[in-house]
């Protein structure tokens, strides 16, 4: 039975959290998490490779389990909760979106860099044709001024998106910057406004609450903070805070607490916290999913991962350019070597 809600939370641990565990989800893990989220009354669960449909590759990281199997598994155990998928044009294809819909996906989140909404119309339109609730997802939103963000959001609205998200992929936003952007979108669009946070500067919760204050009604969270970088807005904590504020999410707090403690915590290879490397990502404005890639490159070249991340920030490298991480690491290593000679 549908619940009356003041806002709608999408749980992203089974997609964004894939980054944190090296894309190693099993069918059993996904079914266990999805079943519990459905019982808790979470309206949407995003399931996919961390980089969206089609992301399993040498460049982005190979999935342990085919993502279509994970999508089908999640859909099979959910009674009321709807399964969402992320698609980044150029990584995911229309065929994969069709397959995901056939397997039970009910929402498509079409993600582009904040200045590249014009690559999304065919995917947004296909999602609408497939009967999916459709979201435009403007990644790395901190890299565009407010007027450019509004322009790109309006494009996604014109393509047929039901919702447009401001996405803080790097966890780089400060609360006043979130307030300014959500307010501008609320004044300019007639569709739903969403917000997706990362916690690299320990501001995910603060930024999310500011977004809600300014009218965002679609919010992303990750149980136990399981997401890329330092994780996302922690879902069970967000539900507790919103309950204290008198904002109805339709989600059972105790169920979320138990899920976080008993099911998700054991999946985490280590607790999600703000490490020096994830802090640097927020500080430098670097894509949160770069963390494990940069740490591996640093180990290979005997470097400090912070040096790699800072340089990536200077070069304004964005999602989809993961191959640049090794190139930058090699350049830094060669430069350091030459200085020692």
- Output the six-digit token pair for 281: 């990502």
How does 74-109 read in b/e, with b if 16+ C-beta sit within 10 Å? bbebbeebbbbbbbbbebbebebbebbbebbbbbbb
Residues acting as catalytic residues: 19
Helix/strand/coil (H/E/C) assignment for every residue in the chain? CCCCCCCEEEECCCCCHHHHCCCCCCHHHHHHHHHHHHHHCCCEEECCCCCCCCCCECCCECCCCCHHHHHHHHHHCCCCCEEEEEECECCECHHHHHHHHHCCEEEEEEEEECCCHHHCHHHHHHHHHCCCEEEEEEECHHHCCHHHHHHHHHHHHHHCCCEEEEECCCCCCCHHHHHHHHHHHHHHCCCEEEEECCCCCCCHHHHHHHHHHCCCCEEEEEHHHCCCCCCCCEHHHHHHHHHHCCCCCCCCHHHHHHHHHHHHHHHCCCCCCCCHHHHHHHHHCCCCCHHHHHHHHHHHHCCCHHHHHHHHHHCCCCCCCCHHHHHHHHHHHHHHHHHHC
Binding residues: 15-16, 169, 196, 198, 287
Q: Are 197 and 162 in contact (CB under 8 A)?
A: no
Binding residues for Mn(2+): 16, 196, 198
Binding residues for substrate: 15-16, 169, 196, 287
């Amino acid at each position: 039975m549908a619940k009356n809600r003041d806002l709608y939370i999408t749980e992203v641990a089974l997609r964004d959290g894939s980054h944190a565990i090296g894309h190693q989800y099993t069918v059993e893990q996904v079914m266990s998490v999805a079943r519990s989220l459905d019982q808790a009354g979470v309206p949407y669960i995003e399931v996919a490779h961390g980089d969206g449909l089609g992301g399993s590759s040498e460049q982005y990281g190979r999935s342990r389990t085919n993502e279509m199997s994970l999508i089908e598994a999640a859909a099979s155990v959910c009674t009321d909760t709807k399964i969402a998928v992320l698609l980044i044009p150029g990584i995911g294809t229309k065929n994969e979106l069709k397959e995901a819909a056939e397997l039970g996906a009910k929402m498509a989140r079409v993600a582009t860099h904040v200045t590249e909404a014009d690559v999304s119309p065919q995917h947004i339109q296909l999602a609408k044709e497939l009967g999916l609730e459709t979201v435009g997802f403007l990644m790395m939103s901190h890299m565009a001024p407010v007027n450019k963000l509004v322009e790109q959001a309006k494009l996604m609205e014109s393509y047929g998106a039901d919702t447009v998200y401001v996405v803080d992929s790097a966890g780089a936003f400060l609360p006043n910057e979130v307030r300014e952007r959500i307010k501008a979108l609320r004044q300019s669009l007639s569709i739903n406004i969403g917000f997706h946070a990362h916690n690299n500067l320990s501001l995910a919760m603060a930024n999310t609450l500011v977004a809600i204050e300014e009218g965002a009604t679609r919010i992303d969270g990750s149980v136990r903070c399981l997401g890329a970088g330092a994780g996302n807005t922690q879902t069970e904590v967000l539900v507790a805070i919103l309950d204290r504020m008198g904002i109805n999410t339709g989600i059972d707090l105790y169920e979320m607490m138990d899920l976080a403690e008993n099911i998700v915590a054991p999946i985490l290879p280590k607790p999600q916290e703000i490490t020096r490397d994830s802090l640097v990502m927020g500080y430098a404005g670097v894509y949160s999913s770069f963390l494990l890639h940069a740490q591996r490159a640093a180990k290979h070249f005997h470097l400090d991962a912070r040096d790699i991340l800072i340089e990536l920030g200077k070069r304004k490298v964005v999602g989809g350019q993961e191959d640049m991480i090794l190139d930058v690491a090699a350049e830094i290593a060669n430069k350091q070597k030459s200085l020692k000679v």
